[in-house]
């Protein structure tokens, strides 16, 4: 996940906090859109990012 955060910072000019929050929002969005059978793939991809309802990345 750090690779995606790094890309967001470099390509979009986001701060570290903004990039981390963006990844968290992406995860929450995908969790709500993919069929249940594919949620394991999303969970693995976002393994080090809190899910919706878990502790917020920013603190």
pLDDT value of residue 51 = 60
pLDDT value of residue 16 = 94
List the pLDDT tens digit at each of the 59 positions of the chain. Answer: 888 999 999 999 999 999 999 999 999 899 899 999 988 998 888 887 666 554 444 44
Residue 52 lies in a domain: no
Residue 37 lies in a domain: yes
pLDDT value of residue 25 = 93
Helix 2-12 vs helix 16-33: crossing angle, to nearest 10: 120
Number of domains making up the chain: 1
What is the DSSP track for 1-59?
-HHHHHHHHHHH---HHHHHHHHHHHHHHHHHHS-GGGHHHHHHHTTTSPPTTS--TT-
What region does 56 belong to: left with phi over 0, alpha with psi -120 to 50, or beta? beta
- Residue 40, both tokens: 């394991």
Q: Which domain holds residue 18?
A: 2-45
Residues found in the chain = 59
Residue 17 lies in a domain: yes
Residue 33 lies in a domain: yes
């Amino acid at each position: 996940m750090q690779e995606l955060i790094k890309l967001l910072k470099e390509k979009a000019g986001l701060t570290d906090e903004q990039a981390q929050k963006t990844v968290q929002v992406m995860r929450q969005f995908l969790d709500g859109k993919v069929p249940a059978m594919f949620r394991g793939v999303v969970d693995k991809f976002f393994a080090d990012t809190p899910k919706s309802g878990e502790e917020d990345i920013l603190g």
